[in-house]
Chains A and B, each alone.
Chain A
Amino acid sequence: MAAGLEPGGCGESWNLTHPERVLAIQRRYVEAGADCVTTNTFGASRLMLARHGHAGLVRDVNQAGVRIAREALGARDGWVLGDIGPLGALLEPYGELPEAEARAALEEQASALVEAGADALIIETETSLEETGLAIEAARAAGAASIIASLAYGLSADGTFYVTMMGVRPGRAAAFVAERGAHVAGLNCGTGVDMKAVAAIVRSYREHTDLPVMGQPNAGTPVLDHGQVRYRQTPEEMAAAVPEVLAAGAGIVGSCCGSTPAHTAAIRRAVDEFRRQGHGR
């Protein structure tokens, strides 16, 4: 947004129209110490691109996304994660999206990302097991070397547990994605889920799967500041809970909405410090 994307504009099409801006943004995260760069393809499925009139650009947008992320990594040893977000519609019988159409859209995006050389695919911000399962199958069909399946949870009304809007609890999700053949069980974004909450959810995951676990929370909850929407959690506040997340058993930690390169840098320092103290690998 700070780079000039108009509100609600199709950020994914920037991979084609403004690749230098996408590259500049991603480089800042690599310079901040990220090992993984997620491609700018969250909404680059046929169904989501169609909402911006770009349905014909699926291949181009996804392949450009992988190229840009690879270039951002440069000489650094790291991984390009090909991003697949939700389709933005509910599957039948709850919604009106036929399973075959969803499957085709996911397979198209997954194969474009894999062919362009993504090291892994990250299926993220999912809320239903049905769509998550279809996406994992699509990633497998595309021949992805590694598949990360990540769900978005919210805090329950009584504040006692975490659950997705479709009613999926963390333990069930972890067991499900493992059974479907994902290689990493993840969680990201969500409402009322900060780094500290991630630790709790990672512990639930750990009880249900031996897969590596990944957590990418938002930088707190957005607030309004002089008419501008801002996420208020500082890099230091966010990173403070990183040791707890790592101790809970997470193998990959990152951040989602509202985070900046400064958050990534703070997370990097926290991870390095955790290791120096003799924890982890």
Chain B
Amino acid sequence: MPDYALMKRCLYDGKAADVERLTREALAEGRPAGEVLAEGLIAGMRVVGEDFKHNVLYVPEVLIAARAMKAGMAVLKPLLGAQGAGVKPAGVLLMGTVKGDVHDIGKNLVCMMAEGAGFEVHDLGVDQSIEQFLAATERYRPDVIGMSAMLTTTMPYMKVVIDGYRERGFGHVKIAIGGAPTSRTYAAEIGADGYAPDASGAVDLFLRLVGDGPVGTAAA
């Protein structure tokens, strides 16, 4: 049995080379890629997310841990997609900062943490119009859209996107919002499916919105 506790510790401490090595060793022992992902990487990121939420860790530590997670993920990725691997992502997530807004530090953090929770993440970047969100939705068929805005002046555009989705028959796609000026009340007012105050909460929200994907529950 691989030492998942050690792998989680190394991930928490941001030791990318160690996480990569332990991932390879676990595979060499014959453990399935899905198990290594769930018991090692995702479980490790969950601890990071919890501590981030409670002011034990801050953005720098989370970013370093996410980099370690990615080092392990790079080893697993070719195997996870393979036929018969039996591993499905927790869900497909489409992320973007809304039109007119060029802020992306928080959004990028959410992308990394969502990946660490087993989501297939497609990051559109900043300054995204409703047309761009819709085109990417047709292309990637996401379960959840995560929209970000940093300014009180750009957050109203979130409603434009939500209304656009409802009007064009994409009402089944869940839409979550976040960013400094947004709030739970605002999310409710514009008809979003959810709001999270931080990156860790965003991942919890995405998991709730997809009804907890198979990978998300595996290590619970």
User: Does A24 reach chain B (CB closer than 8 Å)?
Assistant: no
The contact of A167 among B59, B102, B159, B190, by CB within 8 Å, is: B59
Q: How many residues on the A side are at the interface (Cβ–Cβ under 8 A)?
A: 35
Q: Is A89 an interface residue (CB 8 A)?
A: yes
List 10 other contacts, CB 8 Å, given A8-B153, A90-B59: A7-B154, A7-B157, A8-B101, A8-B127, A166-B59, A167-B59, A221-B183, A223-B186, A229-B155, A257-B152
Which segment, of B29-37, B50-58, B203-211, faces chain A?
Answer: B50-58
Interface flags for A38-81 (1: CB within 8 Å of B; 0: not) read 00000000000001100000000000000000000000000000
The residues in A between 188 and 246 inclusive whose CB is less than 8 angstroms from any CB of B are: 191, 221-224, 227-229, 231
Question: What is the CA–CA distance of A157 and B53 in the complex, to the nearest angstrom?
Answer: 7
Which residues of the other chain, B, contact A258 by a CB distance below 8 angstroms?
Answer: 152
Q: What's the least CB distance linking B52 to chain A, in Å?
A: 9
**A229, B153: Cβ atoms closer than 8 Å:** yes
Chain A interface residues toward B at CB < 8 A? 1, 5-9, 51-52, 88-90, 93-95, 128, 156-158, 161, 163-167, 191, 221-224, 227-229, 231, 257-258
Chain B residue numbers with a CB within 8 Å of A227 are 156, 159
> Which residues on A sit within 8 Å (CB–CB) of B157?
7
CB contacts under 8 Å to A, within B92-150, are 99-103, 105, 126-127
Cross-chain contact B102 with A52 (CB below 8 angstroms)? yes
A166-B58 in contact (CB<8A): yes
Ordered by A's residue number, 27 sampled pairs between the chains whose C-beta atoms are within 8 Å are A5-B153, A8-B99, A8-B102, A8-B127, A51-B126, A52-B102, A88-B103, A89-B105, A156-B55, A157-B54, A157-B55, A158-B54, A164-B58, A165-B59, A166-B59, A166-B60, A167-B58, A167-B60, A167-B61, A222-B181, A223-B183, A224-B186, A224-B190, A229-B155, A229-B156, A229-B181, A257-B152
- Which secondary structure dominates where chain B touches chain A? loop
Instruction: Output the nearest chain B residue to A89 by Cβ-Cβ distance.
Output: B105
Chain A, interface SS category = loop
Once the chains bind, are B101 and A90 in contact (CB under 8 Å)? no
Contact A94 B60 (CB under 8 A): yes
Q: Per-residue CB proximity of B195-219 to A under 8 Å, as 1/0?
A: 0000000000000000000000000
A51 to B101, CA, bound (A): 10
Q: A7-B157, A90-B105 are in contact. Are A222 and B152 (CB under 8 A)?
A: yes
Which of chain B's residues have a CB closer than 8 A to the CB of A221?
183
**Residues of chain B contacted by A166 (CB below 8 angstroms):** 58-60
CA–CA, A191 to B99, complex, Å?
A: 23
B85: A residues at CB distance < 8 A: none
Q: Across the interface, name the chain B residue whose C-beta is closest to A1.
A: B153
Tell whether B87 is near chain A: CB-to-CB under 8 Å. Answer: no
A176 to B143, CA, bound (A): 45
Quick one: given A1-B153, A229-B155, are A88 and B58 in contact (CB under 8 Å)?
no
Inter-chain contact A191/B180, CB cutoff 8 Å: yes
Q: B residues within 8 A CB of A6?
A: 100
By beta carbon, the residue of chain A nearest B61 is: A167
A108 to B138 Cα, complex, angstroms: 44
CB contact between B58 and one of A5, A9, A89, A163 (< 8 Å): that residue: A163
- Give a binary string over B59-93; 1 marks a CB under 8 Å from any A CB, 0 the rest: 11101100000000000000000000000000000
CB-CB < 8 A to A89: which residues of B? 105
Complex CA distance for A129 and B154, rounded to whole angstroms: 28
Shortest CB distance B196–A (Å)? 13
